[in-house]
Amino acid sequence: MAADPAAHGARRTVGWWRRKSLRFRLTAVASAVLAVALVVSAYVMIGVLGNSLITTIDDSIYQRARDAVSLADAGRLPDELTSADGTLLQVIDAAGRITHATTGTDRLVPLLDAGDRRKAIDSGQARYLDGEPYGIPHVLRVRVLSADRGQTVLAARPFSEVQTSISTAGHVLIVGTPLLLILLAAASWVIIGGTLRPIAALRRGADEITGTARSRRLPVPEAHDEVHSLATTLNAMLARLEKADTRQRALVSDAAHELRSPLASIRLQLEVALGYPEGQDWRETAEGVLEDTMRLYRLAEDLLALARLDERDGALARKEPVELDQLVPQTAERYGEAVTVKVAGAPIDRPGNGGRAHKAIETPGDVRRTSGTPKDAWRAAGAIVVTGDALDLGRVLVNLVDNALRHTSAAVVVELRTEGADAILTVTDDGPGIPEPDRERVFDRFTRLDSARSRDEGGAGLGLAIVRETVHAHGGAVHLEDASPGLRAVVRLPLS
């Protein structure tokens, strides 16, 4: 089926229009609107001017006719009527004869016959009259008034002066309107160009920002307008992108640095074992390689956890009720006697029941003591419940406990309690602690204090970073404080 030529032409027109610059399109639209406005204004002005001039003529001939009526009623009409403004006057008696007239006006034939005069008197309005049959080369505006004794006064004035004025105004508008439109279009072009200049500066600034100039920012205009807001928003976006890029590069660099050490150790052990196989203790070699492999595994797990947190950008993977008073003891069971758990201030009793724990404390509400699997070990009517991801919250506790166990000499104490509308989880050790200036810094990725690095205690400096980002995703907060002796990690989560 053949394409419609009209539709094809319309598509080409639209395509041509869209290919033009924004400045051209805005100027064209503004000029079109101005052209319509000027044409409508000119039309209205001509109409208003014509009506005003006609009203002026009508008022003038009416006033001259009234004056003549007054003189006729008083019987003081002169033989020759005069008019300073060119108004033509005829006084006609009851018999239809012209008794008085202005100089140059026909004294034999009235401008209007008897029937037309009666209609003009009855309408009370002026009317047009062609003056050619009466030797007057103009269109006349005529008004008729009645006087005493059957007399009528007829006043007329040429309409040519109105036509001349309207024609003159029309010529002025015909010449002036296009000039004014061109002037306004040029002004629009300049003004729109000035308005779009900050956007052009933004474009040039964006072109200049390359991979080697990440710290540069887009120019911000002085005027506090929409372009200023756009530039500010784009600069904030660039700052976030730069921060993310820096963070990613640091992550890759630190990850490569952390991977190098266990890989170098594995390589060295294997090269030594292969170089001297006859004197090698293969079990000891396998244990050393396994230890380094576990370090690599833990590092990969931590990197994967951070990648998932970054991918979600602060959002939770799941939102479900999590009973911390069950999750905390169940998670701490893996550490055995190395960890002491307190829920609502009372310790968890661990009798010799094959590693299964049950609750031996009282919490607000009715407590039902049960035994069995850890999942159903105990429940309380006053359970401490938060909304979030149980797996992520369990990882928070594991990271905090693992970090505490590296530095403590006695059992690590894990305590869970409520405080107002928050659940408070603390992990306390009796180690050397962390100086106050460094307590915030250790939450950064791949941050380890010099003492920890010298001992090479197995941490890659990612555990606390995972803890903080996970807690923040749950709407909580985490900080470190002095435990005298030792260090206490405090996690605050909002209750459901």
Residue 287 in any domain: the answer is yes
Residues 260 and 178 in one domain: no
- In this structure, of 114-128, 223-237, 339-353, the range with the lowest mean pLDDT score is 339-353
Question: Side by side, which strands form the sheet with 412-419?
Answer: 346-347, 339-343, 412-419, 422-429, 487-494, 477-482
Instruction: Tell me if residue 136 falls in helix, strand or coil.
Output: coil
CB 327 within 8 A of CB 393: yes
Residue found by looking up tokens 């008004």 in the block: 143
What is the pLDDT, as a whole number, of residue 33? 92
Residues 327 and 297 in one domain: no
- Percentage with pLDDT > 70 across the chain: 86
Residues 322 and 431 in one domain: yes
The C-alpha atoms of residue 213 and residue 324 are separated, in whole angstroms, by 48
What is the pLDDT, as a whole number, of residue 449? 66
Largest CA distance in the chain: 158
Residue 147 in any domain: the answer is yes
Residues 41 and 188 in one domain: yes
What is the pLDDT, as a whole number, of residue 375? 39
Q: Answer whether residue 364 shows pLDDT above 60.
A: no
Instruction: Tell me if residue 201 falls in helix, strand or coil.
Output: helix
Tens digit of each residue's pLDDT (9 = 90 or more) over 328-346: 999 888 888 889 898 876 6
- In this structure, of 10-14, 44-48, 170-174, 228-232, the range with the lowest mean pLDDT score is 10-14
Among 208, 236, 251, identify where a domain stops. 208
Q: Answer whether residue 377 shows pLDDT above 50.
A: no
What is the pLDDT, as a whole number, of residue 446? 74
Residues 169 and 25 in one domain: yes
Instruction: State CA 134 to chain mean position distance.
Output: 76
CATH number of the domain residue 485 falls in: 3.30.565.10
In this prediction the pTM is 0.51
Q: Answer whether residue 366 shows pLDDT above 60.
A: no
Sign of CA dihedral 428, 432, 436, 442: negative
Tens digit of each residue's pLDDT (9 = 90 or more) over 161-219: 788 888 888 888 888 889 999 999 999 898 888 888 888 888 888 777 765 556 678 78
Instruction: Tell me if residue 285 falls in helix, strand or coil.
Output: helix
Q: Answer whether residue 157 shows pLDDT above 60.
A: yes
Residues 450 and 326 in one domain: yes
153: Cβ–Cβ under 8 A, 6 or more apart, which residues? 65, 68, 69, 72, 89, 90, 91, 92, 144, 145, 146, 147
Residue 487 in any domain: the answer is yes
Residue 237 in any domain: the answer is yes
* 448 φ/ψ angles, rounded to the nearest 5 degrees: -135, 140
Residues 322 and 385 in one domain: yes
Residue 261 in any domain: the answer is yes
Residues 255 and 230 in one domain: yes
Query: Cα dist. 358→334, 380, 418, 495 in Å?
Result: 14, 12, 20, 24
- State the first-to-last Cα distance of the chain, in angstroms, to the nearest integer: 66
Bridge partners of 282, per DSSP, are none
Q: Answer whether residue 114 shows pLDDT above 80.
A: yes
Q: Answer whether residue 374 shows pLDDT above 60.
A: no
Bridge partners of 157, per DSSP, are 141
Structural domains in the chain (count)? 3
Residues 417 and 443 in one domain: yes
What is the pLDDT, as a whole number, of residue 16? 76
Tokens describing residue 372: 């069995």
Residue 355 in any domain: the answer is no
Mean pLDDT of the chain: 80
What is the pLDDT, as a whole number, of residue 8? 63
Q: Which domain holds residue 164?
A: 18-208
Residues 198 and 256 in one domain: no
**Span 442-458, average pLDDT:** 59
CATH number of the domain residue 264 falls in: 1.10.287.130
Q: Answer whether residue 431 shows pLDDT above 70.
A: yes
What is the pLDDT, as a whole number, of residue 343? 86
Residue found by looking up tokens 């950064």 in the block: 444
